[in-house]
Structure 1
């Protein structure tokens, strides 16, 4: 903490002095960003680094929120830092004048156009219309599928929910497990519920719940949970979904034991790993969550997230910081993709050879995406998130009805 106060020039009583370092507080668990920044400091951003040397400090993610609140209280936030685990903390710091107005700063620097529009849409949806963080990580979600299994069973990509259910039924009849999912994690199942909601009710479906305009117990919301519960009732998730963890679910798909797998684009790293992917990357396709007939949502609205966002302090954002940010905006996307295979929300400005065709497809989808949506628990309280994810398996194994599931989560939201 002493290092950070010194680096940021915090005075404890007003505006901070000019920073002496490009100090960056990272979470211990995330090595991608600090590795890429270190590479940039020795390459494309050498001049920015000479003027303001990169200085990294790490903290366990579980301790991040407490650390940020402590530093903010001392007027000693670093130049750049991993944002709070919950968007609410960053929004609070933004309102208190501790977080930079990144849209204003990037436009002033002439690099706002280096952000993918879909990433901007996602960030603003999370932070009350503000560009409060930078998209060092950017993931879209959809359904990965086994092309070989589809071809062998005469299936094409389902465009609607009804077609998806029909495909699952056909696979089941042939003795093929339709979906792989982790009931132990819970969220891969609840994201099917939100996917249905966004397609049936439109992109504001869960914002309306957060704003009190709708409840999860409203008939149309329960219908979404019922649609997912029906998949489980028909056995499309296989046996014992409640005891399956994330790695096992991933392995089921990559070993060819399941035809489809709802997951985010971070799974591309697993797909590119020949030791894990026994199906072969060339045999993996990616499709959007299908449309719901008569629904208000668009099949082109992909659920997305920016991982653990990273932001910059308002009081230390000077011309030297600006030089770093400008260089990052122009070069981070290429560096992270080339060196680590990581997709960010920054544009890729140099030629990078993708690991496989499905990676190229996802990157193209990200570039073409203009408006994205969030995930089921994105705007929930911590308590409601836990309740939702721990009960997800019960929804699909029949021990909890769709009405009971939605009521339980709504009760947790009411209690926040």
Structure 2
């Protein structure tokens, strides 16, 4: 996605968050007096955006309305704050991030994989902000994926270097009208049942899976990781993504998953031109009815509720065994503050407002389709019964119950998505790569990139 798990994904990744304090409902965002960047290392009060005119520079991902909806509401509540927003596709942001953060650092930026950015000193350490705003009192799982040990080598521990606009999660969307044509009255509960539905769709002349795999951010990484979670536990996958010593993606379970994906490819369950389809084209085709299922994230829930009212459904990837635990890519929609950002304190106040202001939390649900971040006792905005947004939020509760949240395999290193997963999966589609060789190649690239970082 570029999203999602992209690390959307790019969102490209859900501990359930229920509710938020109203600390920013009155006055400026945050509390206390504005803090200059010079005093940030020893903050005693939470920074605000003050009352004088300020323009926050931002670098956002094209095609996702949540960030701009939030910035518009922020300016509505605090008219002294204006925005200078630049947008690019996630693949472009991935390539540009080091240069942009070094040469012209924005105050707020949609982030790709962050390890190298931290190692190179390009992202601001947010520990002091976490202390004064109270982020360190939120459920630890919300922030875990954005923590890095000294040197930026190991994720999941250490200092906080990013925040999320919400907690996104991936799964399987489906077209209810097309599902009815093949007798699908409820989502599958096992992988075998899912396979049966795919075969029925193919036999009925319905495109079984709407997916993209073109460009530098291949979308077949979504169903592949879902299949990995069906065949094995999510823990080892997270260890690999977090660069834990000795971690490998080349496991027997992941080989089964990759072989299963290859079976889907050979059975013709994906579009013939899947390697030429980008994310926007996938969404357009799915909304137009050209695909029964689509592997994607809840950031599209609000969009699908508008574009396909009452016609879109959602379910978590089913496990191999009927009673098996569910897992999903689930991660914050990650944003960071440049280490040399001019308005870091104001940007931090915005991030706190996103998680705690009632209207901001409502926007996160209605526009982003995802759980807001924030304190465990924060109230959840109401959602309309029967919507796909209701389904994705319920699925998030299931993932929390099963402790099945995974980061996205595209986030293991800064280059692994564009330079390894994507070309390898494109070769698998073209019949130029085998499942076993694919995993071995990705693992070799991973080790080389980790050693060189």
TM bucket normalised to smaller: 0.7 to 0.9
> Please, which moves more after superposition, 382-391 or 403-412?
382-391
Distance 1:38 1:252 in 2: 30
- The answer on whether the counterparts of 2:57 and 2:84 sit within 8 Å (CA) in structure 1 is yes
- Residue 359 of structure 1 aligns with which residue? 389
- Give per-residue Cα distances to partners, 1:220-246, cap 9 Å, x unaligned: 322221111110011111322222222
Distance 1:161 1:316 in 2: 50
Distance 2:281 2:212 in 1: 8
- Residue 177 of structure 2 aligns with which residue? 148
The one of 372, 387, 404 equivalent to 1:345 is: 372
CA RMSD, 1 decimal: 4.3
- Residue 195 of structure 1 aligns with which residue? 226
Distance 1:316 1:410 in 2: 39
Alignment of 1:263-412 (within 5 A): 263-274=296-307, 280-293=308-321, 298-299=325-326, 301-311=327-337, 327-331=353-357, 333-337=360-364, 340=367, 343=370, 345-346=372-373, 349=379, 354=384, 357-366=387-396, 369-370=399-400, 371=403, 372-383=405-416, 385-412=418-445
- Residue 4 of structure 2 aligns with which residue? none
- Residue 33 of structure 1 aligns with which residue? 67
The one of 189, 198, 201 equivalent to 1:168 is: 198
Structure with larger Rg: 1
- Give per-residue Cα distances to partners, 1:349-370, cap 9 Å, x unaligned: 4755549611122234335642
Distance 2:170 2:200 in 1: 24
TM-score w.r.t. structure 2 length?
A: 0.69
Task: Compare relative contact order (CA 8 Å, sep 6+) and give the higher one, 1 or 2.
Answer: 2
Q: 1:350 to 1:400 in 2, by over 3 A?
A: closer
- Give per-residue Cα distances to partners, 1:324-379, cap 9 Å, x unaligned: 76654321643524885564533674755549611122234335642411122221
The one of 165, 172, 196 equivalent to 1:136 is: 165
- Residue 226 of structure 1 aligns with which residue? 259
- The answer on whether the counterparts of 2:172 and 2:316 sit within 8 Å (CA) in structure 1 is yes
Q: 1:292, CA displacement in angstroms?
A: 2.4
Distance 1:241 1:14 in 2: 49
> Please, which moves more after superposition, 166-175 or 320-329?
320-329
> Please, which moves more after superposition, 57-66 or 258-267?
57-66
Distance 1:105 1:312 in 2: 19
TM-score w.r.t. structure 1 length?
A: 0.75
- The answer on whether the counterparts of 1:38 and 1:54 sit within 8 Å (CA) in structure 2 is no
- The answer on whether the counterparts of 2:305 and 2:387 sit within 8 Å (CA) in structure 1 is no
Distance 1:273 1:105 in 2: 39
Gaps of 5+ in 2: 1-33, 149-153
Distance 1:15 1:193 in 2: 45
Distance 1:134 1:289 in 2: 27
Q: 1:258, CA displacement in angstroms?
A: 1.4
Gaps of 5+ in 1: 1-6, 72-76, 275-279
3-state secondary structure, aligned to 2:237: helix
- Give per-residue Cα distances to partners, 1:286-309, cap 9 Å, x unaligned: 0001112399x721x321232332
- The answer on whether the counterparts of 1:25 and 1:56 sit within 8 Å (CA) in structure 2 is yes
Distance 2:340 2:421 in 1: 36
> Normalized per residue, which structure has more helix?
1
Q: 1:261, CA displacement in angstroms?
A: 0.5
Alignment of 1:76-225 (within 5 A): 81-82=108-109, 84-89=111-116, 91-92=118-119, 98-101=125-128, 103-107=130-134, 112-113=137-138, 119-120=142-143, 122-123=145-146, 127-129=155-157, 131-155=160-184, 156-185=186-215, 187-209=218-240, 210-225=243-258
